[in-house]
Structure 1
Amino acid sequence: MEISSVPLHKGQLPWRGLLLAASLLIYWSSPIMVQVTGEAVPPHVAEGANVLLLNHSLSETFLIFCWYKGETADNSNEIAQFIMSITVNTTGPACSGRERKYPNGSLLFQNVTQNDTRAYTLQMLMQFFDNTKASVHFHVHHNSL
């Protein structure tokens, strides 16, 4: 099959050009989306034990992650923050001193109490300044010993 040298009628576009334009438009306009997921390990823990809030969103595209008490990302509920580019860890007003932060976005609670039973929110600021977050719950029960 030979490509015609006949000029196109007004309003017609060559298919290859149209496909290329559509492909580039899709590529340039699609942000990199990362699903933030986490889990409490274990989800039910005895008082005095440890629980790990595990971040499953292992991505090199995040710039900052923050953990909050509750389901809202409010500064007064901030437990910890980690800034990747300068490897800075900070603690917020909701930090009890029993939390340990990890560079992968996970948070370890040591010596948990009944008051620790609640939702916790992980918020991540991604490379293209997209905010994404997920909530993780765990329950502390009385130690039967």
Structure 2
Amino acid sequence: MEFPAASAHRGLVPWLGLLLAVFPSSLTTRIPPTTEQFAIVSTISAEGQDVILRIRNSLPDVLGIWWYRGRVVKYSNFIGYIALDPGDYVTGPRNTGRETALDDGSLIITNVTPSDEGIYLAVALLPNNQRARALGTLNVYGPPCVSYS
């Protein structure tokens, strides 16, 4: 009795060996990380504190990072862009003067207020004009309420 998984068409099996012999490099090719790994670390901060929105799993060969408020890439949401090689920083209309991009691409916001709370979008510029997107949230809590009875 033959093993149930054995093929009745034994003549086709050598092709698998031929494919592995002809294309071995396809099995060992490095697959670059997916853009899904590129992320912003969501952060919770007290009002008045300085906060850093950090980039997690930065992609190799990133040329620069654009920062936006909200989910949509449009000029009115643009906070700033940092070119990572020379470290040049350009601000946009959504920059309040308290936001600055760091050399690693992270965004620092000084003296956070409840109006800073929300979704932030980072768009990484990669070689060959490719882009990767990451979303993260900033939650800001105010001073504790004290009630006296």
TM-score by length of 1: 0.73
TM-superposed deviation, 1:105:
1.0
Aligned residue number for residue 10 of structure 1: none
Alpha-carbon distance between aligned partners in 2 of 1:76 and 1:131, rounded to the nearest angstrom: 20
Which residue, out of 16, 21, 25, partners 1:23?
25
Aligned residue number for residue 118 of structure 2: 118
Runs (4+) off by over 6 Å = none
1:39 pairs with 2:35: no
Q: Which amino acid aligns with 1:144?
A: P
Q: Which amino acid aligns with 1:23?
A: S
SS where residue 63 of structure 2 aligns? strand
Aligned residue number for residue 101 of structure 1: 101
C-alpha contact (below 8 Å) 1:100/1:108 kept by paired residues: yes
After superposition, residues 2-81 of structure 1 pair within 5 angstroms as 19-21=21-23, 23=25, 27=29, 33-34=34-35, 35-40=37-42, 43-81=43-81
* Structure-2 change in CA distance of 1:81 and 1:19 (3 Å): farther
TM-superposed deviation, 1:135:
0.7
Alpha-carbon distance between aligned partners in 2 of 1:86 and 1:44, rounded to the nearest angstrom: 31
C-alpha contact (below 8 Å) 1:48/1:143 kept by paired residues: no
Q: Percent identity?
A: 26
After superposition, residues 121-140 of structure 1 pair within 5 angstroms as 121-140=121-140
Normalized per residue, which structure has more helix?
Answer: 2
SS where residue 115 of structure 1 aligns? helix
Structure 1: tracts of 5 or more residues without a match: 1-12
C-alpha contact (below 8 Å) 1:37/1:134 kept by paired residues: yes
Equivalent pairs counted in the alignment come to 131
TM-superposed deviation, 1:100:
2.2
TM-superposed deviation, 1:49:
1.2
Q: Which amino acid aligns with 1:46?
A: A
TM-superposed deviation, 1:85:
3.7
SS where residue 62 of structure 1 aligns? coil
Alpha-carbon distance between aligned partners in 1 of 2:86 and 2:70, rounded to the nearest angstrom: 27
TM-superposed deviation, 1:21:
4.5
- Superposed CA deviations along residues 65-120 of structure 1, whole A, max 9, x for unmatched, are 11100011212211110113433211111101011211111011111111111100
Structure 2: tracts of 5 or more residues without a match: 1-14
